[in-house]
Amino acid sequence: MLELDRLSRRYGDVVALDDLSFTVRPGQMYGFVGTNGAGKTTAMRIVLGVLSPDSGTVRWQGRTVDRDMRREFGYMPEERGLYPKMRVFDQLVYLAQLYGVARTTARQTAGDLLDMLALGERASDRVEALSLGNQQRVQLAAALIHDPAVLVLDEPFSGLDPMGVDAMAGVLRARVDAGAAVVFSSHQLELVERLCDAVGIVRAGRMVADGTVEQLRGEAARRYRIHVDAGPGWVGELRDRLPGVTVVDGSAPDALVELAPDVDDQKALDTARALGPVRQFTPVRSTLTELFREAVTDGAGDDAGTHAGDHAEESR
Ligand SMILES: Nc1ncnc2c1ncn2[C@@H]1O[C@H](COP(=O)(O)OP(=O)(O)OP(=O)(O)O)[C@@H](O)[C@H]1O
């Protein structure tokens, strides 16, 4: 298991990470999402050892991660680091050899990865001749070339076309199925919801929600489409009679209503029935995008006062 345990990190006055913890199991794809400047890249850099935390630990299989253990890690950094003049295939073989992979194995793996990423035709092109999206696919191949047990990817899907997304998702899923622990950051929440076994939502350096999307749904306010065959004003009446009911959209005959986590939906149904015949009472499944909005706008635990990150970009 990859464990990020109570990581904190400041840049001067800026609190980039504030006691952040999460775990990723082998065979699990973990989506790391958050607002801009929330601390995702900082956390990933700490996992890869290019940045030290002020406090906290990163462990893999129970042991504090050190330089040697990081040889089992594959990393796709935000700032893509390929040699522009080198040919795609040669570059992958070269990187594999840096990790101690035998040349024949490296050549075989490089060929397989390029085929899986639909780049077989470009193997002998220089990296700089590839489009940015294709360079990104090469970057993924570079992260995978030594068959890492842990993969840490900073926004691997940004800027890819739908075929690129599918190719990359397929490669990552195959790694996860083979037992790798994979964590990636992304702002593409539909994609994260589709691909990931678990999700962490970070805001201002703190984890505000962590679990499967189903678990996050269970913790969030639930939404229902309700239609009571009564005169106008029934939805306001429902809200007034039952604390914890919020009207999200009362303009249509079937209103969209939110129930706080402690409100029993059967009680809400009974209250609606008392107002008139209930024609509709349907749970609406929240998307990850909605759960994200709720998690990052919810005031609880907000430390915006100590977080001056939006003013610190120039010092990068
Ligand atoms: N080298 C640096 N010097 C000063 N502040 C920094 C540095 N790197 C990051 N920060 C600040 O730390 C905070 C966290 O940044 P980080 O890049 O980790 O966020 P992120 O979640 O990856 O953001 P994004 O989604 O926008 O990529 C931000 O407030 C950022 O401005």
As a whole number of angstroms, the distance between CA 263 and CA 239 comes to 12
To test the pocket of ligand 1, the residue of 4, 10, 11 to mutate (highest count of ligand atoms within 8 Å of its CB) is 11
Nearest atom, ligand 1, residue 34 CA: 21
User: Pseudo-torsion of CA 210, 213, 217, 220, nearest 10°?
Assistant: 30
Nearest atom, ligand 1, residue 12 CA: 4
Residue with CA at minimum distance from ligand 1 atom 18? 39
Closest CA to 93 of 80, 75, 110: 110
Residue with CA at minimum distance from ligand 1 atom 12? 16
Identify the pLDDT of residue 2.
97
pLDDT band at 82; cut points 50, 70, 90: confident
Sheet holding 245-249, edge to edge: 245-249, 255-259, 222-228, 278-284
Residue with CA at minimum distance from ligand 1 atom 7? 316
Nearest atom, ligand 1, residue 202 CA: 21
Lowest mean pLDDT: which of 153-167, 172-186, 219-233, 293-307? 293-307
Arithmetic mean of pLDDT over the chain: 90
**Which CATH number is associated with domain 2-211?**
3.40.50.300
- The better pLDDT of the pair 290, 199 is held by 199
Residue with CA at minimum distance from ligand 1 atom 14? 39
pLDDT at residue 12 is higher than 60: yes
pLDDT at residue 77 is higher than 90: no
Name the pTM for this structure: 0.84
What lines the ligand 1 site, CB under 6 Å? 11, 14, 16, 34, 36-42, 309, 312-313, 315-316
Q: How many angstroms does the Cα of residue 201 sit away from the middle of ligand 1?
A: 16
Identify the pLDDT of residue 294.
86
Distance of CA 71 to the CA centre of its chain: 23
pLDDT at residue 255 is higher than 90: yes
pLDDT at residue 220 is higher than 90: no
pLDDT in tens, 88-112: 999 999 999 988 999 999 999 999 9
**CB of 3 closer than 8 Å to CB of 23:** yes
Nearest atom, ligand 1, residue 307 CA: 29
pLDDT at residue 314 is higher than 80: no
pLDDT at residue 311 is higher than 70: no
Average pLDDT of 29-40?
95
CATH 3.40.50.300 residue window(s) in the chain:
2-211
pLDDT at residue 132 is higher than 80: yes
Query: In this structure, which topology does domain 221-285 adopt according to CATH?
Result: Alpha-Beta Plaits (3.30.70)
pLDDT at residue 315 is higher than 50: no
- CA 114-120-126 angle, to 5 degrees, is 90
- The full DSSP string for 187-207 is S-HHHHHHH-SEEEEEETTEE
CATH 3.30.70 residue window(s) in the chain:
221-285
Identify the pLDDT of residue 80.
64
As a whole number of angstroms, the distance between CA 212 and CA 199 comes to 6
